[in-house]
Structure 1
Amino acid sequence: MARSALMSPSKLSKIENAKLAPSVTDVERILTAIGVSDEVKAEYTEAARASATEATAWRLLKRIGVHKGQQAAKALEAQLSTLRLFQPALVPGLLQTPEYIRAVLRRHNLSEDALTRTINGRLERQAVLYDSTKSLQFVITEPVLRWRIIPPQMMAAQLDRIASISRLPHVDIRVVPLTIQQHDIANHAFVIRDDHMVTIETVHAEVVVTDPRDVWTVRR
């Protein structure tokens, strides 16, 4: 069951014993694994959505292990067929070089072991870039390419990686130039997965939205 639901046996056990509240994604995976009817799946998924919007504070993620967040993201990316990502401040994680990842993670004050495991986890996620069955669309702003997050030579390598990945036929990378007048303000980075889940990164937490009405609002 745990394998089919893409989660560890210990996590499934905690959910079964009411020691851990399942997320909407957890509920969807479990219902899919046990093969319930579409009607039952819709009923329980809607109940999970109605309970609350999910928000995981960065401090909580740090306590349970930042690398586990990479594992969860990898599982989601393995299932999706279309990913749309907007990032106004940093190079998207799937496009980052090891040096850039290390620089970004420094702000979390991780131990060297945790840092290494998280970097490796993010690099493992990047294998999805070469899955031609998926459509991966990235929109970043021009300042992302100009921030001095890492030394110039390393940033040149980072830009070269972005250019290389952009040549893959199923990957679309676009840059919003500073010279274009903007008609709206993008406050946060967000990811849309298959039109049914939006992950929004704020200063203090990661918010997961699954209500179709809210997903549509973000898409607009």
Structure 2
Amino acid sequence: MSTDYQRARAELGRRLRELRVESPDGRLTGTALAERLGWPQSKVSKLENGRQTPTQDDLRAWAEAVGQPGAFTELHARLRGFESHIRSWKRQLAAGHAPVQESWNTLVGETRTLHVWDNFVVNGMLQTADYARNLFERYAEFRRSPRDAEEAVRARMKRQEWLYRPGKRLNTLMWEGALRAQPCPPEVLAAQLDRLLGVVGMATVHLGIVPWDAELRLPPANGFWVLDDRLVTVEDWHAALWLDDAETIALFRRVWDTLAESAVYGTEAQQVIARVRRSIKV
């Protein structure tokens, strides 16, 4: 979790404590507030000390319980402020993967140029339906989120229409490990690699593969997306980071450019993909 996020959550916790102490009904103890809310006292303590992120409902209930319902608007604004940069998967996936994919469709649709680094799976803009379905099913099982793989697949496939629109450009780099990872049956992976072989040379796609034996100027850390010059997204296990300050965007573009120096393209990229394809026992 980022320092900025921790700081913002701690500030929100201090504000919650202020509202409790300054209750119009008289100073409330944490135990008394917990009793009013029907919460464990430990939850009140964690929220006030910035060790737990409140939900919108938590903030509304807190404001009402301390006799200051009008404070909810301020509290919610604070929450939205730091959650716009740290988006927990638990909350994003509360209604399943399909709504998240639809949101991404809107975001990508507004973008002209993508720079993407993938080090663990094939890029979503180039996935086959079967490959994507296996990913959604496995993530839903792991996160215990609603199982809506078919709806999520349809949304992801719809996003790929972007590749056929004039003026769009996908600049994507993939580590060879992303080609070899098997989050799906061998026959599905084989078909996925056939799909990649077909997109090499596509007008709107600039595909680079970083071979395992390539000399790296940087280690292949987290995957990320740079959308034009306005946003970077980075996925981790607990959350997705949405970073929109100019300095950070410039940093990730420099990372992408550095990784691109280790990649192969065109015929050489096809040779790497084909080598991996031949290694799959179907």
1:21 and 1:67 map into 2 onto residues whose CA distance is 26
Deviation at 1:89, TM superposition (A): 0.4
Q: Between the two proteins, what is the percent identity of the paired residues? A: 26
**Deviation digits for residues 13-68 of structure 1 (CA, Å, limit 9, x no counterpart):** xxxx95975999xxxxxxxxxxxxxxxxxxxxxxx7xx676111111111133211
Deviation at 1:183, TM superposition (A): 2.2
Other-structure match for 1:92: 123
**Which residues in structure 2 correspond to 1:136-215 (within 5 Å)?**
136-215=170-249
**Structure 2 length as normaliser, TM-score?**
0.58
The match for 1:120 among 149, 154, 160 is: 154
Other-structure match for 1:102: 133
CA contact (8 A) 2:135 2:184 kept: no
> Superposition RMSD on alpha carbons, in Å?
2.4
**1:137 partner SS:** strand
Change (3 A) 1:70 1:52: closer
What 5-or-longer segments of structure 2 have no aligned partner? 1-71, 255-282
- Between Structure 1 and Structure 2, which shows a larger proportion of strand residues? 1
User: Which one scores higher on RCO, CA 8 angstroms, separation ≥ 6?
Assistant: 1
1:121 and 1:22 map into 2 onto residues whose CA distance is 31
- State whether structure 2 residue 80 is matched by structure 1 residue 57: no
**Structure 1 length as normaliser, TM-score?**
0.73
1:126 and 1:23 map into 2 onto residues whose CA distance is 33
What 5-or-longer segments of structure 1 have no aligned partner? 1-16, 25-47
- Between Structure 1 and Structure 2, which shows a larger proportion of helix residues? 2
CA contact (8 A) 1:55 1:207 kept: yes
- Max Rg structure: 2
**1:148 partner SS:** coil
1:162 and 1:141 map into 2 onto residues whose CA distance is 13
Deviation at 1:189, TM superposition (A): 0.8
